[in-house]
Structure 1
Amino acid sequence: MLTVVDASISGCAGETGQSGSGGGSAPSATDKTSRESYDQFVAQMAEILAVTGEQAGWTTEFSEPWPLEPGNELTPEPCDVENWRTSPYQLSLQVLGPGAEDLQADRDAMIRYMEDQGLEISGVFGDPSYPEGVAWDATGRGENGLKVIYATSSHHRAVTLHGECSAHPSMQNKVSQEAP
């Protein structure tokens, strides 16, 4: 069993690291269509999984194989859950995959990837004193609500990707590989 410690606040993080009306401001948003957001999201997830060295054997949090089949849809979520009526939307998904042998090297490779992408790193947890099965974690936050949460253990790995926020009206609809 993978035990994940996520010290982040749910929703999109604003400049202060808080979401909604908790003192922070909502992230800025792009105006990408749902299809542009979907394509960017899928490409970024592929990059992240390439960093792990294990591109096969991943499933979504809904037990669907990754990469998604053409008919599978993602439902955009509000970036600011407290102000969801006026909030831009983003794609979010967690994928689960095979464990790693060297947890520190695996997590550190993901941290380097996130830094190379310009993400601000936080929530770095894990050291050799952790019991077997407890995840080594790292979180990276970028512009426009982008967030990557990575957890690695000897049993499983978890990648949670929150794509960029978009104010385009199409982001209020489900989207798939078949979307226009």
Structure 2
Amino acid sequence: MTSLASPGQLRASIFRWALFTVPLVMLLGFLSGMLGGDPNSAWFQALTKPAIFPPPSAFGVVWPILYLLMGISLAMVCAAWGARGRVAALIVFAVQFLLNLAWSPMFFTAHEIKGALVLIGVLDVLVIVTIALFWRVRKLAAVLLLPYLAWILFATLLNWQFLQLNPEANYAEPAPENVQRIEL
């Protein structure tokens, strides 16, 4: 016998890890979206939207799928006990995921369009590094992250276009939504 685990044992290990990683990634992603600001806020609604801005319902479909793929990918690497580079891959994944979770609060709550652009630029680089590190551990785990990379590259373009179209909205204080102004 030349392997440490049979294919069945490996699948069972990935499944067990996925029972933890998939709900964790999805829950944290959901919380970031819910607590990270309101895309229906007066501030965001007042922004000029780029021509390539997708319908808002697309985000509610795309992100759960991406978080599912990320959770499965993470489970595959977590289950690769003894693989060279596994720990580094997991650390870089965790850092890029924290940046992912920080983007919504920075953009929607803090209204820091420029800061969010810098953050997502760093995120782009870290996701590429994560994919390279995952590739060394489990090729399929890296492949599962490619749709995520494509989406955040698109999101980077959107963020840049929001900044170009709305330079005055960067760091703008939100208008109170429950105040009615009357001019005489």
Shared fold, TM over 0.5 = no
Q: Greater Rg, structure 1 or structure 2?
A: 2
- TM-score (norm. length: structure 1): 0.26
- TM-score (norm. length: structure 2): 0.26
Q: Which has the higher helix share?
A: 2
Q: Which has the higher strand share?
A: 1
